[in-house]
Each structure stands twice: as structure tokens, then as C-alpha cells.
Chains A and B, each alone.
Chain A
Amino acid sequence: DTAVSQTPKYLVTQMGNDKSIKCEQNLGHDTMYWYKQDSKKFLKIMFSYNNKELIINETVPNRFSPKSPDKAHLNLHINSLELGDSAVYFCASSQGFTSYGYTFGSGTRLTVV
């Protein structure tokens, strides 16, 4: 039973399209995150939600909109996809603000053509 699951695992789409990535965690954690790993393998935080409230919003284009319907889910919607959005997107969760590490999903590889 996967702790943090993301769907889809792979996503290939054309420029200008709108797409969503879904994330669900069954760990009972109250904080969830989206990270982006770009072509340089740099893992960079995008958003963080704590109990459905947005608490971290890095300098991400507003074409990216996270949505947390409940504390077990954090979805990422991307409008007007661009070539530079191609990356691996990781969802993660933690119990509060912990120094003991996050639990990551297996990632969604997004390719924009």
C-alpha cells in the first residue's frame, strides 16, 4: 500500500495544453509539498500545504496552481504548458514541520513537446 502516490507516472503533452497531477498520502500527515526536479537534477520546492492551507509558495509562475481538497490530497494543475515545464514533479508529505524528513512519491515525469 503506497504511502504517497502520484498519478500519472508519465505525462507527455503538447505546448499550450492544461494538465493536472494528483497526489494522495495515506500516512495521516498534515503537510504536503510539491517539488520540481529539473534537467540539472536540482530538487526545488514549489508549494507546501499544511492542513489544506498554503504556507509556502515559491517563485513559481502563476500558471501552476495547487489545490488541496483535504489534508490527504494535494493536486497540481498547470495551465498553458511550456517546454521549460518539462521536469519530474515529486509530491511529498510530513507530519507537521519535522526535521525527520519527508516521504516522497515516486514522481511524475512531465514532457512538453
Chain B
Amino acid sequence: DQQVKQNSPSLSVQEGRISILNCDYTNSMFDYFLWYKKYPAEGPTFLISISSIKDKNEDGRFTVFLNKSAKHLSLHIVPSQPGDSAVYFCAAGMSGGYQKVTFGTGTKLQVIP
């Protein structure tokens, strides 16, 4: 039962353009959402998060949008840079009780110079 889904395994974008990575979830109990970035042979690194009480959170070139009614979130990267080429994982968690973060399967982003 995959509660967090990233349906696009890969995405290619030209440098300077916008990258949009999508994520869907099924568990309405999730109340916070995170994006991680992963380079080869490294562990995932935390990028940005959003609480369910918000619909947008911005940090520099990265913006995460949350649509709770659609159980959908997206990560926008503007402008995309070659160094952004990595695998991006969407993740979701529940803040009450013992937390565990559930990850999606990742989207490999390639930014073409």
C-alpha cells in the first residue's frame, strides 16, 4: 500500500526554465509534507517542508504547493540549474504520536545546460 506516490520517474528540463515535480498521497491523516533531494551515493537531504495548514511555502528558488482537497503537492524549482540534477523524494508524515515519514519512489530530475 503505497501512500505517497510520484508517478513520474524522470523529468528533463532546460537550464533556466521551471521544474515541476508532482506528488500524490492517499492518507488524509498526513499533516506535514517534505521534499528531499538525493545525489548518487549520498543520503537524501532535506530540502523544504510544508504544514497542512498552509498551501504554499517558499525558500529561495524552491516552492512547494499543497492542494489538500486533491491530496496533491508539487515542488517548483525556478530557475532550474544543472546542480539541481538529482532524485527528488516527496515524503509525508503525521505529527501526532510516534512519527514516521513515508516516502515516495522519487523523480529523477535532469537539468540540461
Contacts and interface: CB of A to CB of B under 8 A. Distances in A.
Q: Do these two chains interact?
A: yes
Contact of A106 (B2, B43, B46, B93): B43
Contacts of A35: 103
Interface stretch (B15-23, B71-79, B94-102): B94-102
Interface residues of B, number: 25
A74 to B, nearest CB: 14
Interface residues on A, range: 20 to 34
Nearest to B31: A99
A100 B70 CA distance: 23
A40 B46 CA distance: 21
Interface string A44-62: 1100101000011010000
B34 interface: yes
Contact of B2 (A42, A50, A98, A103): A42
A99 B98 contact: no
B45 to A, nearest CB: 7
B63 interface: no
Contacts of B100: 45, 48, 56, 58
Given A4-B43, A90-B43, A92-B43, A99 B93 contact: yes
Nearest to A6: B43
Contacts of A56: 98, 100
A97 B95 contact: yes
A99 B95 contact: yes
A104 B101 contact: no
Interface in B44-101: 44-47, 49, 51, 87, 89, 93, 95, 98-101
14 contacts: A35-B103, A41-B105, A42-B103, A43-B89, A45-B101, A90-B43, A90-B44, A97-B95, A97-B99, A99-B95, A101-B47, A101-B49, A102-B101, A104-B44
Interface of A: 4, 35, 40-45, 48, 50, 55-56, 58, 90, 92, 97-107
